[in-house]
Structure 1
Amino acid sequence: MKGNHYIFYTPEEQYPGMPHGEMCGDLMPFYWEGRYIFFFLYKYCIYATETRDFVHYTKARLVLQNGSPDEQDWHVATGSVCYANGKFYFYYTGFCEGNRNEEGKNEQAILRAISKDLYTWEKDKTFCFTPDINRFENLHWRDPQVFWNEERGTYSMLVTATTKYGDYLRNGCTAVYASDDVSEWRFDEVIYSPGIYPTHECQDAFKIGDKWYLVFSTYSKWWETRYRIAEHFSGMWETPLLDDMFDGREFYAAKTVTDGEKRYLVGWQAIRKDCRDENPFVWGGNVIVHELVQRNDGTLGVKLPDKIRSVFKRQIQLSYRRKDETSGEACFHEICGEGFCWRQIGNLSKTMLFEGVVSWKEGTQAVGLMLHTAGSRLEKWCQLRIEPYHGRIAMERYNQIDGEQMYVDERRIQFNKNEATVLLLVSGNIMLAYINDTALTTRCYSVSDGGIGIFVECGEMRWTKLALLKGEESDEHI
């Protein structure tokens, strides 16, 4: 398999007209002895890749082979790995679509495999946790997330389930089962059942400081990864008022992993069919890793992991800059009383990182970056927009004028002191932006390389602390 093994991992190379969408799906991260092992779904099986820095990844290896059409694990699906009793336990989902509506059978069930070294796994044929039909419907029963729960003093298993009597497509819930030694599981409680979503997929729960966080993904409107906050594991789970997401609408099925010091959020960035901007999304994509940041109010933000930032060392010369009259450092200053003004400041190639701090005069409508610019009359471009009075950031591109306009790639954000720190990682068709501690990842397939510039609409802006940095040389395929 020739994929991308540099920062944005995929097991297969992505190319225009690719005949399938089999990329990384449903990342199941696990940390052990300095290694981050990312188990993921691929071709109805579970594979794994490893990394120590979120930059370089090993080639994928098969972990769990799917079974025959007559077996419960005809399709092997999402789960989690835990360590207990001197062994590694992989709890995962077994899908057998042929069992749907068959008396005495289950389309979904929770299965288990055991390993001593994280490489060789043996399916435990004695374990099959079927839907608890006395409490839940006999359909959604998957994505087991198992962890040691300090608050409970037991192992907890989160299960994607649906209540029996909830409204149609609104009965998704988070069920919890408990075990003292992972051998037997008993019903504990339902910790979250808001009556909003059809399911809560790929759930994760963890504690930072004195706050509990519940992460889950939903597909009822768009593909989105959301989170809730509580004082205790049982809830009540509160929704962050400004924004309950970590990234945009193509970042999905994210779970977290910790090395004991920092906690990272690992998910996949969706791709579009045939790698065309106007086509619908298909399942799976590239690996995206964010480092979680706990804000003073208890909400969560994200940042680029330091391990990724550290590989960008070679600074590229920027053009059209002047000295700040006060500090003496290089800056860019633009005034545009009405309409749109922009200036190219450099060129993009391969994988590059832009850093800067932008400030704006009160009343300015928008500031930001122009990316992948091309043509004497700016025929091609992508635009990272900061709109202070709309309280949002957005990514737009030239071919949305007559193209697919189902939604805008945007995030809610609150600005202070008319200033923002901007970090943008561009690699192939992926554009990963951090505005302060808010992320927005998007793609544009119809552009490559090109220029990078700054812009302002109806106002005044100033950029300082600017840097355009190149990563180490790599054989990268996005």
Structure 2
Amino acid sequence: MKINRTFLCLPLCLALFNNCTKEDKPTETPIAETNAPACQTPNESDNTYRTFFKPSVGWVGDPIPFYENGIFHLFYLYDARNTMPTFHPWYKVTTSDFETFTDTSEMIATGTANQQDGALGTGSVFKRNGIYYAFYTGHNGILDPKEKIMLATSTDLKNWTKDPSFLLQASWGYDRNEFRDPIVIEDKGTGTYKMLIATRSEVGLVSNSNVPWRAVIAQYSSSNLRDWTLEKPFYEDTTTFLTECPDVFTMGDYQYLIYSSIDDRMVHYKYRPLTSNTWITPINNKLDGIAFYAGKTVTDGTNRYITGWCPTKNKNSDAAIFDWAGSLVTHRLVQHPNGTLGIAIPNGVDNKFSVNEVLNAKIGFGTTKQGDAYTLKGNAAEKAFSVFDRETGAFKIKTHIKATSSTQFGFEFGACGTRNEVFAIVFDLAKNQLRLDKVIKNASSLNVTQLPLNIPANKEFDVTIISENSVCVIYINDEIAFTNRIYKMNQNPWAIFADNGEVTFSDLKIFK
């Protein structure tokens, strides 16, 4: 949930400060090979997002997904980016497959500038006895408390009526101004309902920790969804300021907790066997990079998906800091036998791109082509690469990578002209990292973001990349999703590369 536009931007501003020194402009030299394409600077405002949905006007904030009868109802905080004192009404878009979307516009309006819900925040939708309950955050920075939990109901998921008699504020010992993002789950063992709320607590309320305040997921119980009784906290965390947008669900023999850390701006998860009260933190507890936030999950009974937003950047510049809100991005969760989670592309998104386009290599070095296989051999003096023709709109790249001896390879976007400046998705086997780097020729690379990379013993990777305008998501081995916003990518060439040693990109294809 967005509670203060400046405050929520700070972690990203600080993290990317060194990369935000100037506006991003083409830096290609005017002299290049005759067949090397020049850089384009497309107008982002002209772009339409159909795969990574955004409304025709405005942007997608925190998603609140709900599934019923074959349809995913994706409520979200609508970000108009205007100067109105009220903001973030609940809007909704529907889909059956995450391939195509129907925008149904506003569902729950904001209150007035003086009311508790002058701004709406994240919440959840729950159905009981034919009634849909939307519990949401009412936020108003001029009030005390700033945040309370509020309620609207519906009989058809379309028409919503606010219930002014329902107001739940923080209990004693909890931070009354940081009290948001409610999720309701059913405790079938007791026949009651639990409401979990992101907040903070004082010393002694939860444990004997010497941390004066800590992030807590408060827990309330109810038998009727209207009268709520405080129980002991569901979860506490001394490593972050707030565990935003919590989500709790069960898959097989495990229970999962997903939350967005307000400090590192990433979506994390923990899990535990249903027979245990102790949370397990996996080695890689991140479900994407810094360009995917406020992830909440939903299941159709067969698959479970996590949906969040990829932020835009100020002034549509790669050199700028992230905004709040952006485009809707959805991944499919994959459960492993040991309880850990992997990330995969939703089938609907994968199947959307089925027409194989002809790859047109423009320039290259150190590359041998045999059919759809490209073997690159880099050396200490110069990396091997192949540059392919520019792409526009939405497309899919698929390939199987075999790292024979190279320890650093990947994909470049914005690889135009002399490739003086590119954004590189780097597989770094020496550091076990997957990175987005801004690479400037004859200068040090600037790391934008990174994730841990699990390296199989055979050093082989099945890779799918979905790109639409400035949004790029790479999926690897049904293990990793890496979402990024790269403005220079749109309408400019892309490339594959190897910094050292040999690597083969086999069955390299592009689909529209």
| 1:172 shift after superposition | 0.7
Whether 1:178 and 2:221 are equivalent positions in the alignment is yes
Change (3 A) 1:414 1:107: same
Task: Tell me how far apart the structure 1 counterparts of residues 394 and 326 of structure 2 sit (CA, whole Å).
Answer: 18
Cα deviation digits, residues 416-468 of structure 1 (max 9, x gap): 11111111111111111112220111122234322232211111111223221
* Match for residue 52 of structure 1 among 90, 96, 100: 96
Whether 1:31 and 2:73 are equivalent positions in the alignment is no
AA matched with 2:452: R
| 1:307 shift after superposition | 0.6
Aligned ranges for residues 70-469 of structure 1 at < 5 Å? Answer: 70-100=114-144, 106-133=145-172, 135-150=173-188, 152-165=190-203, 171-220=214-263, 222-232=264-274, 235-241=277-283, 243-319=284-360, 330-338=372-380, 339-362=382-405, 364-375=406-417, 377-398=418-439, 408-416=448-456, 417-436=458-477, 437-469=479-511
AA matched with 2:69: E
Higher mean Cα deviation, 439-448 or 267-276? Answer: 439-448
Q: 2:47–2:469: 8 Å Cα contact kept in structure 1?
A: no
AA matched with 1:462: T
Moved over 6 A (4+): 166-169, 320-324, 399-404
- Identity over aligned pairs, percent: 26
Q: 1:192–1:235: 8 Å Cα contact kept in structure 2?
A: no
Higher mean Cα deviation, 3-12 or 136-145? Answer: 3-12
Q: 1:26–1:268: 8 Å Cα contact kept in structure 2?
A: yes
Change (3 A) 1:240 1:382: same
| 1:225 shift after superposition | 0.9
Gaps of 5+ in 2: 1-44, 79-86, 204-208, 362-366
Task: Tell me how far apart the structure 2 counterparts of residues 95 and 465 of structure 1 sit (CA, whole Å).
Answer: 51
Task: Tell me how far apart the structure 2 counterparts of residues 403 and 112 of structure 1 sit (CA, whole Å).
Answer: 52
Change (3 A) 1:281 1:361: same
Q: Number of aligned pairs? A: 447
Task: Tell me how far apart the structure 1 counterparts of residues 434 and 50 of structure 2 sit (CA, whole Å).
Answer: 27
Q: 1:291–1:303: 8 Å Cα contact kept in structure 2?
A: yes
| 1:263 shift after superposition | 0.4
Is the partner of 1:162 in helix, strand or coil?
strand
Change (3 A) 1:54 1:400: farther
TM-score of the two chains, using structure 1 as the length reference = 0.87
Q: 1:73–1:96: 8 Å Cα contact kept in structure 2?
A: yes
AA matched with 1:162: R
Is the partner of 1:24 in helix, strand or coil?
strand
Which residue pairs with 2:9 in the alignment? none
Task: Tell me how far apart the structure 2 counterparts of residues 323 and 447 of structure 1 sit (CA, whole Å).
Answer: 24
Task: Tell me how far apart the structure 2 counterparts of residues 76 and 337 of structure 1 sit (CA, whole Å).
Answer: 55
Change (3 A) 1:91 1:247: same
Whether 1:6 and 2:46 are equivalent positions in the alignment is no
AA matched with 1:433: I
TM-score of the two chains, using structure 2 as the length reference = 0.82
| 1:334 shift after superposition | 1.9
Is the partner of 1:138 in helix, strand or coil?
strand
